[in-house]
Amino acid sequence: MDALVVLILLLPLTAAAVIGIGHVFGMLCGVADEAVTARIASWAITLSCLLALTLLGADLFGKNTGSFSAGQWLGSDSLSIKVNFITTGFNVGLAALFSILLVIVTRFSINYLHKEPGFYRFFFALSLFSSAMLLLVLSGNAVGTFVGWEIAGLCSYLLIAFAYDRPVAVINATRVFVTNRIGDAGFILGIGISYFYARNIDWNGLNAVAAQLTTPTATVIAMCFAVAAFAKSAQLPFTPWLARAMEGPTPSSAVFYGAIMTHAGVYLVILLQPIFEQAPFAMGLLAVVGLSTAVYSFVVGLTQTDVKSSLCFAISAQLGLMFLECGLGLWQLASWHLCAHAVVRCYQVLTAPSFLHYVHGNPMKPVPRDIAGLRWLYTASIQRFWLDPVTDRALVRPVHGLGHDLGYFDDHIVDRIMGTPARAGRAISSLAQLEGKILSSRPDHDADEFSRGSGFAGKFFQWTADIFNWFEDRLVLRGIGIDAIDMGRQLGYAANKFEKLILKPRYLVVFVFTVLLLAAAI
Amino acid sequence: MSEAGFPLLSLAILLPLLGAIATGFTPTVKLAKSIALVIAGCELLLTLLIVQSFNAGSGDFQLVEKYPWIPFLNINYLVGVDGISVLFLPMSALLTLTAIIASWNSVQHSPRFHFALLLALEGITIGVFTSLDTVLFFLFWELTLPPFFFLIGLWGIGSQRRGAAMKYTLFMLFGGVPLLFAIVILATNHAVAVGGAIPQALSFSLPVLLETPLAADLQILVFFLLLLGFAVKAPLAPFHTWLPTAAMEGPAHVTAILTGLKLGAYGILRFTMPLAPAAAVEYSWLLGILGAVTLIYGALIALQQTNLRRLLAYASLSHVGLVVVGIASLNMQGLQGAVFQLLNFTLVASSLMLVAGMIQHRLGSTEIIHLGGLAKVMPRLTCFYFLFTLASIGVPGTNGFPAELMLIIGALKAHASLGIAALVSAVLGATYMLSYIRRAFFGPITQSVVSQAQDLSPRELALLCVPALLVLVLGFFPDSVLHINQMASEVWLSRLLNPAP
């Protein structure tokens, strides 16, 4: 029965491929083909749901061996990454639950998205997501889980940017993807460190050697995966992405942020239970972050006035509680909490638009008195504790500023030192007329050309001649006095500029970072 | 070393060169184009045949051909391939073929010369990848300059194309000088080592030089000379400024070849590291830092670019930095990841550049203020661009992922800070690529010229389909590439880490 697992993943993937290729090459388009597309997508996910249930049944009757390998994906020296799956226990149960929810959402979307311009795009992304999510929970090694993890993030990008002609939607999508990418970096770091210290990237193998790992090693591995989990499950300080992600169509919000994808972080932590148990500090971190996210989401949720954002803070609060439970060692409770929450939240988000319809015209409820009395808390809650602006200030802007300064440095200093017949920065357009204009605006062009060397020897002699010329001109002819003052002033300017630059926080940070890296290297 | 029964490699070098002559002297333009296309197609088949007849089980040089060239100095015509270089052949052939198809209608003046130059460039490039004699290599290396000079200078799309061509040539000539010095030092060292007289006992052959012991101080000198020579071409910061200029001024398909074929990184892999093994191991930290600086530097500047072609130039700079980090990590994952990533460039970086050329061709600009909302009018072009972007930022399912994963694991194994630099660049990479997509392809249409643009023509669709397919296939089955270069990589590493006494 173990081999079924491959089909569970391949069916939605094939559906995605068929829809994607068909749409790009114009074989599936217009309202007429909507029915075909819907049928492909829903049949694929329904079949894979049935297979997942069969697999679960087989597991309950003890017919599964526990793992299934479909060969090697990548092999390099001692690093061998297999395509293998876990076919027992929590993973299979979760796969069955998620696939049921996916069937429901797919069915719901067929009517919801009827005659939308992005109909095909939606079903492409949804099918791809189904496959990725099932891979995430079924994969037997860290790389497979990461593949699902990352592709799920990509689908979330595609669906947040569903209405891509609205700039806000695309800005949010990009921001969400990049935020998640930070978590992904933690994941990759975790894979690398596991491979380095534990010589193993299979989940089962990693958990089996967990007891032999020293506490610092286990802590480092656990922390890396915890960062990834925090980013995916919208825990502090990554929480704001969840509110941004609500931009997509309702079914996608339900499936991505309500029912399935945000639970991936909790799933990862539960999966790595033995590692976390070796690392008390990481457990503490889980508890602290979970608790503070829950409190944060509760306070912010109190003042939300629209259904989607209040739901989204409710989601992050519940996820925070799950992390708290994990941190306290209540693993069973956390996994049941995960499953129950997925079901309830899927229903809630799917019915949110109808809910809005029913309560239309009802007076708005006032803010609870407890928080209305505390002015500072109220403001903080309305502003969502300024998390987004703080990230902007602390991270996004300095990085952009650094990029800007380096761009200037590249154009004006590196390029100039390297000697340039054509400057990189000044190329603006392809107009041939411009060339004529530049040439004609330089009357002394010929004179310049006369003393200009070419090739290395030429340049060398030109420079020597220039230096002598400068020496003759400045020092001998004009006298030393005025020039020295000028030079001093220029030096002063340069020093001032340097000081200003070095005092900017981003350079201080870079400086400190470099020193730390150097210290680590030694 | 196994000798070749049939001179396949020489044929692969000569066929495009002869084709170039035929194309140049054909009376009609139409016929010339067809000849160029057919020759490029045959060359692709020929290079695939070479890969087919290559034995992946051996880490040695294969299909070797040796003929005396300048007997007085012991210089031979010596060509051969090993697992590291063999896959670059079909990739260069494919790249040339796509470049020819991409420029099919866009070349207005002297098209025969243009297509002849593209073919000549192909032959010379294959010469660079196959030559095992240092002098022959140097000849091919310098011969790549004239075609690029004319292609950028004559058919460039920027107003300063002549200057750009000049800049490129001057940089490359500068890079050639240290190479030549290093080659002479190595040859004379061989003469001294075997105790022969100078002209007779000189040796320029790479397999012989690899076995010749080199004194420690000379190793350091040779290492830095070769590194300097290849760093200019690769390019590594701060020798990279020719690349953005060339990307802005040159025609898109030539820039695609320029960014797709990373000859400099290949040179570091083939010559710099193995020829001075002790120095390479000793100074691998320096190479790693150089790579990491290039990596972060390129990514940060790319973040600020408003023009697609300049953005891609800096992105390619950043990726070269990652490859150099992989080479410097001196382990199998880093090395195989580096070779894999170099192969990816020929598919991904070049296709992105070609798409940029298509946008330029339609709208007259790749500057962000002239674009916006392209997805609405050109959905197919956007799809392909998006796929190549995903490959470039290393999303699973594309070929960028296995390569980047191996590079990062290799770097982490070598030194934690190198690995962290690579991870930071992965985040930055997603940021600059997706921010550009956000502003140029999504959002509302603001320019009237955009709303009238045509989507991909069947010719363009066909030429993008092949790399797109390969991107996915290599992403799903990376082992198909890795098993070809596995043995050669092991030999390469053992030469560095366990030098013969």
Q: What is the pLDDT of residues B47-83, one digit of tens each?
A: 999 999 998 888 889 899 999 988 888 899 999 999 9
Which residue from A minimizes the CA distance to B242? Answer: A424
Q: Same structural domain for residues A279 and A182? A: yes
B482 and A76 within 8 Å at the Cβ level: the answer is yes
* Residues of chain A contacting B395 with CB distance shorter than 8 Å: 150-151, 154
A181 and B301 within 8 Å at the Cβ level: the answer is no
B406 and A421 within 8 Å at the Cβ level: the answer is no
Query: What are the backbone angles phi and psi of residue A68, rounded to the nearest 5°?
Result: -145, 130
Q: Same structural domain for residues A378 and A392? A: no
Measured distance CA(A24)–CA(A94) in Å, rounded:
33
A contact test, residue of B173, B232, B241 with most A CBs within 10 A:
B241
Residue in B379, B443, B478 closest to A74 by CB = B478
In a domain, A193, yes or no: yes
Nearest in space to B84 (alpha carbons), one of B340, B263, B264: B340
Number of domains in chain A: 3
ipTM: 0.91
DSSP secondary structure string for all residues of B172-221:
HHHHHHHHHHHHHHHHHHHHHHHT--HHHH---BHHHHHHS---HHHHHH
In whole angstroms, how far apart are CA B136 and each of A353, B64, B69? 72, 14, 9
Residue with tokens 């010339």: B32
Helices (H) and strands (E) in chain A, counts: 25, 2
Q: Same structural domain for residues A371 and A397? A: no
B contact test, residue of A410, A417, A437, A516 with most B CBs within 10 A:
A410
The residues that bridge with B133 in the sheet, in sequence order, are: B205
Residue type, B374: L
* Residues of chain B contacting A75 with CB distance shorter than 8 Å: 479, 482-483
B419 and A189 within 8 Å at the Cβ level: the answer is yes
Residue in A170, A400, A419 closest to B443 by CB = A170
- Predicted local confidence at residue B122, as pLDDT: 95
- Predicted local confidence at residue A473, as pLDDT: 61
B158 and A150 within 8 Å at the Cβ level: the answer is no
* Residues of chain A contacting B331 with CB distance shorter than 8 Å: 77
Pair of tokens at residue A243: 């509110």
Q: Same structural domain for residues A41 and A61? A: yes
- Predicted local confidence at residue B133, as pLDDT: 93
**Whether the Cβ atoms of residue B297 and residue B310 lie closer than 8 Å to each other:** no
In a domain, A162, yes or no: no
A residues 82-111 near B, CB within 8 Å? none
In a domain, A188, yes or no: yes
Residue type, A134: L
B237 and A414 within 8 Å at the Cβ level: the answer is yes
The residues that bridge with B77 in the sheet, in sequence order, are: B67
Measured distance CA(A291)–CA(A309) in Å, rounded:
20
Which residue from B minimizes the CA distance to A406? Answer: B301
Domain boundary among A97, A121, A140: A140
Measured distance CA(B337)–CA(B319) in Å, rounded:
12
Residue in B157, B248, B303 closest to A424 by CB = B248
Range of the domain at A308: 167-358+367-382
Q: Same structural domain for residues A29 and A9? A: yes
Pair of tokens at residue B290: 């150089």
Which uninterrupted H or E stretch holds A415?
A: helix A415-417
Specify the 3-state DSSP secondary structure of A368: coil
Beta A67-76 vs A79-86: how paired, if at all? Answer: antiparallel
A407 and B402 within 8 Å at the Cβ level: the answer is no
A contact test, residue of B284, B296, B405, B441 with most A CBs within 10 A:
B405
B residues 435-454 near A, CB within 8 Å? 435, 437-438, 441-445
Specify the 3-state DSSP secondary structure of B103: coil
Question: B2 CB near a chain A CB, below 8 Å?
Answer: no
Measured distance CA(B135)–CA(B183) in Å, rounded:
8
- Predicted local confidence at residue A71, as pLDDT: 85
Nearest in space to B231 (alpha carbons), one of B303, B186, B289: B289
Residue in A75, A185, A400 closest to B423 by CB = A185
Measured distance CA(B192)–CA(B186) in Å, rounded:
10
**Whether the Cβ atoms of residue A79 and residue B333 lie closer than 8 Å to each other:** yes
Q: Same structural domain for residues A11 and A136? A: yes
Question: B297 CB near a chain A CB, below 8 Å?
Answer: yes
B430 and A178 within 8 Å at the Cβ level: the answer is yes
Residue type, A183: G
**Whether the Cβ atoms of residue B35 and residue B23 lie closer than 8 Å to each other:** yes
Measured distance CA(B486)–CA(B86) in Å, rounded:
12
- CB-based burial label for B174 (10 Å; 0-12, 13-18, 19+): middle
3-state SS track over B110-121: CHHHHHHHHHHH
Q: Same structural domain for residues A235 and A288? A: yes
Pair of tokens at residue B128: 């660079």
Q: Same structural domain for residues A117 and A238? A: no
Q: Same structural domain for residues A371 and A407? A: no
Distance from CA of B330 to the nearest CA of A (A): 13
Question: Does a cis peptide bond (omega within 30 degrees of 0) precede residue A280?
Answer: no
Pair of tokens at residue A79: 């690093």
In a domain, A405, yes or no: yes
Non-local CB neighbours of A451 within 8 Å, separated by 6+ positions: A462, A465
Residue in B417, B427, B444 closest to A520 by CB = B417
Distance from CA of A492 to the nearest CA of B (A): 27
Non-local CB neighbours of A29 within 8 Å, separated by 6+ positions: A23, A120
A residues 370-409 near B, CB within 8 Å? 399-400, 402-404, 406-407
A188 and B331 within 8 Å at the Cβ level: the answer is no
In a domain, A443, yes or no: no
Residue with tokens 């004379």: B188
Which uninterrupted H or E stretch holds A516?
A: helix A505-521
Q: Same structural domain for residues A295 and A319? A: yes
In whole angstroms, how far apart are CA A138 and each of A4, A48, A83, A132, B416? 11, 13, 11, 10, 30
- Predicted local confidence at residue A476, as pLDDT: 52
A151 and B331 within 8 Å at the Cβ level: the answer is no
Using one digit for the tens of pLDDT, what is the confidence trace for B121-143?
A: 999 999 999 999 999 999 999 99
Provide the residue-wise pLDDT of chain A in tens; the chain has 522 residues: 788 888 999 999 999 999 999 988 888 887 788 888 999 999 999 999 999 999 999 999 888 888 888 888 888 888 888 899 998 888 999 999 999 999 999 998 888 888 888 888 899 999 999 999 999 999 999 999 999 999 999 999 998 888 888 888 899 999 999 899 989 999 999 999 998 888 888 998 888 888 888 889 999 999 999 999 999 998 988 888 888 888 788 888 888 887 888 999 999 999 999 999 999 999 999 999 999 999 999 988 888 878 888 888 999 999 999 999 999 999 999 999 999 999 998 988 888 888 888 887 787 777 777 777 778 888 888 788 888 888 888 788 888 888 888 888 887 777 777 665 555 444 444 444 455 455 555 444 444 444 455 555 566 767 777 777 776 665 555 555 555 567 777 887 887 777 677 667 677 677 777 777 777 666
Measured distance CA(A368)–CA(A302) in Å, rounded:
7
Residue type, A354: S
In a domain, A322, yes or no: yes
B442 and A24 within 8 Å at the Cβ level: the answer is no
In a domain, A278, yes or no: yes
Q: How many CB atoms lie within 10 A of CB A411?
A: 18
3-state SS track over B229-264: HHHHHCCCCCCCCHHHHHHHHCCHHHHHHHHHCCHH
* Residues of chain B contacting A82 with CB distance shorter than 8 Å: none
Q: How many CB atoms lie within 10 A of CB A489?
A: 10
B304 and A404 within 8 Å at the Cβ level: the answer is yes
- List, in sequence order, the alpha helices (H) in A233-330: 240-245, 250-253, 264-271, 273-278, 280-302, 307-327
Which residue from A minimizes the CA distance to B462? Answer: A25
Maximum separation of any 2 CA atoms in chain B, in Å:
75
Nearest in space to B323 (alpha carbons), one of B331, B314, B315, B334: B334
Q: Same structural domain for residues A320 and A341? A: yes
CB pairs under 8 A between A and B: 198
End-to-end CA distance of chain A, in Å? Answer: 53
Specify the 3-state DSSP secondary structure of B165: helix
Measured distance CA(B230)–CA(B111) in Å, rounded:
32
Q: Same structural domain for residues A212 and A342? A: yes
Measured distance CA(A254)–CA(A18) in Å, rounded:
24
Pair of tokens at residue B204: 């320029």
Specify the 3-state DSSP secondary structure of B77: strand
- CB-based burial label for A363 (10 Å; 0-12, 13-18, 19+): exposed
**Whether the Cβ atoms of residue A231 and residue A81 lie closer than 8 Å to each other:** no
- CB-based burial label for B76 (10 Å; 0-12, 13-18, 19+): buried
- Predicted local confidence at residue A520, as pLDDT: 65
Which residue from B minimizes the CA distance to A410? Answer: B241
Low-confidence residues of chain B: pLDDT under 70: 1, 500-501
- Predicted local confidence at residue A433, as pLDDT: 46
Residue B236 falls in which region: left (phi positive, over 0), alpha (psi -120 to 50) or beta: beta
Question: B301 CB near a chain A CB, below 8 Å?
Answer: yes
Nearest in space to B254 (alpha carbons), one of B246, B245, B266, B262: B246
Non-local CB neighbours of A387 within 8 Å, separated by 6+ positions: A236, A237, A239, A240
- Predicted local confidence at residue A403, as pLDDT: 82
Nearest in space to B76 (alpha carbons), one of B193, B263, B207: B207
Pair of tokens at residue B115: 């297509």
**Whether the Cβ atoms of residue A53 and residue A35 lie closer than 8 Å to each other:** no
Question: B66 CB near a chain A CB, below 8 Å?
Answer: no
Q: How many CB atoms lie within 10 A of CB A110?
A: 19
Helices (H) and strands (E) in chain B, counts: 25, 2
Q: How many CB atoms lie within 10 A of CB A166?
A: 15
- Predicted local confidence at residue A48, as pLDDT: 94
**Whether the Cβ atoms of residue B37 and residue B140 lie closer than 8 Å to each other:** no
A residues 404-433 near B, CB within 8 Å? 404, 406-407, 410, 414-415, 417-424, 426-432
In a domain, A442, yes or no: no
* Residues of chain A contacting B332 with CB distance shorter than 8 Å: 76-79
Measured distance CA(A439)–CA(A450) in Å, rounded:
15
Question: B303 CB near a chain A CB, below 8 Å?
Answer: yes
B443 and A24 within 8 Å at the Cβ level: the answer is no
Query: What are the backbone angles phi and psi of residue B105, rounded to the nearest 5°?
Result: -105, -10
Non-local CB neighbours of A466 within 8 Å, separated by 6+ positions: none
